[in-house]
């Protein structure tokens, strides 16, 4: 097993990195030595703020706009990152949406958008960074899933499906890339104190055995561990404060 927290010389791309879990992961990777591209779709000012913070740490950083549910946008994003920071060694698929819908309120458009942003994006971004990872025989991919992949959740069945699909894709990629020095793992947080949770998924942590919401940085700690561990692949790490166990 190879475990290292020194990412000096590595280039990371964090999708949806302008706030919350994505921001925390981007900062952790930068503190470990990586140059970090911070992807966003709409929150330009927030992404620029995260990138500026990373630069104060003495690391290179770039805020890069892209709709990760679109192939052309992903290709352009990766090209921009490679031109300004270098080829991507570490990919964190964190971008996602959580449209809270009841069973009878869910529309086809809601379903399609959720699958495109939460699941299709993982395929598109992974496909775009694999050539370099394969060429150098080293790569790390971390997918941010959710406890909703294996439970009812509070967002809706469309969200469940997107995250369960992400975990299936994680295992599929891991099995096919393991001999090429590329690990692929997922993290499944439940009730982390983010805008999504505050907006209506859970108003209080009363049902969490630990008695509090998780923090974005606690998710980021696990992401850094997965990036540093060369033996762990195809796994989903649950963070639930004791609500569920694998």
**Which pTM was predicted?**
0.94
What is the per-residue pLDDT for 1?
39
**Catalytic residue set:** 159
Domains of the chain: 11-239 (3.40.50.720)
For each of the chain's 246 residues, which pLDDT tens digit applies?
A: 345 579 999 999 999 999 999 999 999 999 999 999 999 999 999 999 999 999 999 999 999 999 999 999 999 999 999 999 999 999 999 999 999 999 999 999 999 999 999 999 999 999 999 999 999 999 999 999 999 999 988 899 999 999 999 999 999 999 999 999 999 999 999 988 877 666 666 668 888 888 898 999 999 999 999 999 999 999 999 998 998 886
Strand order of the β-sheet with 90-93 is 61-65, 35-40, 11-14, 90-93, 139-144, 182-189, 236-239
């Amino acid at each position: 097993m190879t475990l290292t927290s020194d990412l000096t010389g590595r280039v990371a791309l964090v999708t949806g990195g302008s706030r919350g879990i994505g921001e925390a992961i981007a900062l952790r990777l930068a503190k470990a030595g990586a140059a970090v591209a911070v992807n966003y779709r709409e929150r330009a000012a927030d992404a620029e703020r995260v990138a500026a913070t990373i630069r104060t740490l003495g690391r290179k950083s770039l805020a890069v706009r892209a709709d990760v549910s679109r192939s052309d946008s992903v290709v352009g994003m990766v090209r921009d990152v490679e031109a300004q920071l270098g080829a991507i060694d570490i990919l964190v698929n964190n971008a996602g949406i959580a449209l809270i819908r009841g069973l009878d309120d869910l529309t086809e458009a809601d379903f399609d958008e959720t699958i495109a942003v939460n699941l299709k994006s993982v395929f598109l971004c992974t496909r775009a960074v694999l050539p370099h990872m394969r060429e150098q025989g080293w790569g790390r991919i971390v997918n941010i899933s959710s406890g909703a992949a294996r439970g009812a959740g509070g967002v809706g069945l469309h969200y469940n499906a997107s995250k369960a699909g992400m975990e299936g894709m994680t295992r599929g990629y891991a099995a096919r890339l393991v001999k090429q020095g590329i690990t692929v793992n997922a993290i499944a947080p439940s009730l982390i104190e983010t805008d999504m949770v505050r907006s209506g998924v859970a108003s209080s942590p009363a049902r969490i055995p630990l008695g509090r919401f998780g923090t974005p940085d606690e998710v980021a700690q696990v992401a850094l561990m997965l990036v540093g561990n060369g033996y762990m692949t195809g796994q989903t790490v649950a963070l639930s404060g004791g609500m569920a166990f694998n």
